[in-house]
Each structure stands twice: as C-alpha cells, then as structure tokens.
Amino acid sequence: MDEKSGYESEEALLELDGVRKYFSQESGLLAGVQFEPSQFPPVSVDRETVKAVDDVSLEIQPGETLGLVGESGCGKSTLGRTILRLLEPTDGDIYFKGENLADLGGEELRQTRSDMQMIFQDPQSSLDPRMKVGQIIEEPMRAHDMLDDEGRRARAKELLEKVGLDPRHYNRYPHAFSGGQRQRINLARALSVDPDFVVCDEPVSALDVSIQAQVLNTMEKLQEEFGLTYLFIAHDLSVIRHISDRVAVMYLGHVVELAEKEELFENPQHPYTRALLESIPVPDPRESGPRGVLEGEVPSPVDPPSGCRFRTRCPRLIAPDAYDWSEEKWAQTRAFMRAVKRRTFEPMPAARIEAEFFDDTLPRGEPGSVVEEAIDLVAADRDAGEDRDDEVERWEAATELLLEAFAERSICARERPAYELESEHGSGKHAAACHLHR
C-alpha cells in the first residue's frame, strides 16, 4: 500500500474507459459572430462536432511514466486536460484511485485535484509575471488550505532546491529566469500540494536540447523521490524514449498502439508508428535506409474516416476481400488511387498512365474495369476546349470511383481494429489497432 495515499498500488492509479471529448463548433459565413438581440433577427448557423478524443481506454500504473505521442492536433493535450477535468468529458469514465472523476463535482473534485497536477508547455505564459516565484509555488497550497504561512514559505524554498534552483531566489519575478529555470518553477508549483499524478503537457518542447536533458533528469529524480506517476505528452520520440516506461501512440483521437517502450521502438506493429519512427532524423549522413514519409493531410476530426482512422494515409491498406488479385497489382492500384486523389501527376495519355502505374498490364476482372474507367477520366486526350471546372470534375469523379470500389470496401474502412499481440521485447501487453494483425 502507498503510505502517502493509502491506495493499493497493485491496482491501476488511473483508468480510462471509453473516454470521449467532443467540441461543438459553428460553421458558415457568420460563425463566431456575436450580435446584440436588438440588432438583427436570430441567425441560423450550422454546428459541427469535432471529435478531439474518441473512445480512449487505457491504464496507468502507480510510479510509471506513460508517454503519449502523436502528430500535432491528434488530441494528446485534450486528453490530458480531460483526465484532470479541466475539460468536461463528453462520455466515458475516468477512474483515479478507484473513484470515477466523471461523477465528481464541487468540493469533492477540488479536493481530488490536490492529487492531480499539470505542467504546461510554455514555461513563460504559465507563470503570472506579477507574482514572485515564492507566491507562485505557494498558490496551490493556499487553494487547498495546506500549512500556515510559515510552513508554505518553508516548503516553497525546499522545493526550489529540489528542482535545482537557489532558495534565495524566492522573492524574484519569473522574468529574471531562463526558460529552463521557469519550467523548474512550474515543476515546483505542481509538487507543492504533494500530488500522486502529474500530466506533463510537452514540458520540454520549448527548451533547448541541452536544457531538455537537464529538466528530464530532474523530473526522473523527483519521480523516484516523491513516488510520482507521469502522463508525459510529447511529439518528440527521442524525449519519449528517454523518460517513458510505456508508450501510447495517438492518431486523430484514437490510441492506435500501446506497448512497453523497448517493445514499441524495437517492434512497432502499426503503420503509423512505423512511419513516426522512420521519420526520426539520423545524425550520421552515411546511414541509409527507408525513411517514413506520411503522405497527405490528417483528416478533419469533424468527419473522421470510418473503421481505421489512419487508412486514408496508410501505405498498407488491405485489399477488398471481394476481389482476387496479386499483391503487386493491389500495390499498383493503391499507388494510382493515392496519386489520383492527391493529383500528384500531370494529365497524360491513357496509355502512358497505364505504363507508369501498372507496367502496361491492368488488374484482371472487375478491378481492371474500374481502373480503366478511372484512367479514362483523368487522361489528357480530351477536347482542347474543355474548361477548368470540367477538368476538376473529372478528377473528382475518378477519385470517388476508385475510393468506392476499393478503399471503402476494405476491412480497414468497415471495422475499427483492436488487437492484442504478443510482446517480443518484454512481458507487458502490446495493443495495435491495425487489421494487418487479424
């Protein structure tokens, strides 16, 4: 049992079950415009739902660091804020020490927050420039009625020393410190109420690389000393590898892979994770090998793809079961489909398209007929008098034809994947949301 919290440590400290966070936003010409009631009659605007976090379930064990990684806009920070109830969850349960935070409110929630703190990304804007460092660190203790004035002052100075700063700087203002020092102040403030769980929202991304290492080492030392549990959010995989015990990979509101650190880095099982790892810069220019290139843009969270969220950018989209074709012809068709959708080639005669993408041999049967029709739509041998709108319409029609015939019939589009795999580099669970493991 954890003596400080009285919590049975063999159980998960934090458990998320089907957590969702949706935002409703107005769209259209007058979206976001405010009118006085007397100015105009009511104006109707469309409302769209942004699915920032969509059905996330995971556990965090006491004393561990779970790294959460993904591209910007994938929902990492929103998930962290939702866990702490800084944002209200749309649906799902958030269990902290066995108690469902989604059911708490008022004084109960306020008391629980002393056990859950957050370190923000920007070390400058998260500190009040009008307050001295000592006041900043003492503020959470005052909010939770901890200690008297003398006790809070003593604890603030002790924490300044713990995070690697001089306690004599107690009366200085934030502007007198560097970025790395400010982040240490943020860390001291988070620790002032003796929390069990800290959400670290990209805490070193705004710092120089040399300073990053110092702050990360300080965080690891404090974790061991205070028995802390971290949710560490970052987009830098080298930082995640340095500090994490397990890693969750997030894409468009979903966790697509979850495994122990070494297992995930040495044996990635989701195409998105592989692409992220292959995109890490290599310091030795003589090193050669495949580099991960994620094609296309992240789809809108207002209208995310069905089934696997990553399928619209996936280089390993699974062929529809309804068709019988070779791996080679499916790979060629997939490349052609992506090229048409993104319009990455200039219009050319049909014969040249067939030669460039299919080695002069189209797939057999129905797939070949579909591909032939799409080639005919985008081929250059058209009337010279065709206007721009007609050309755009043809490319859009070809894209729709290919997607409906192939992409939308794939299991990747029809079902949301979730598979538990055997670990090769550890004993923990390895979860991957990819139908390649069916």
Q: Which CATH class is domain 14-28+45-252?
A: alpha beta
pTM for the model stands at 0.87
Q: Are 38 and 110 in contact (CB under 8 A)?
A: no
Q: Which residue has the higher pLDDT, 113 or 55?
A: 55
Indicate the domain borders of the chain: 14-28+45-252, 327-409
**pLDDT one-digit tens code per residue, 343-384:** 999 889 999 999 999 999 999 999 999 999 999 999 976 555
Q: Tell me what pLDDT residue 30 has.
A: 41
What sign does the dihedral 198-201-202-207 (CA atoms) show?
A: negative
Rounded CA separation 214/209 (Å): 9
> Residues 6 or more apart from 89 whose CB is under 8 A from it?
19, 20, 21, 82, 102
Question: Mean pLDDT of all residues in the chain?
Answer: 88
Rounded CA separation 213/217 (Å): 6
Rounded CA separation 210/205 (Å): 12
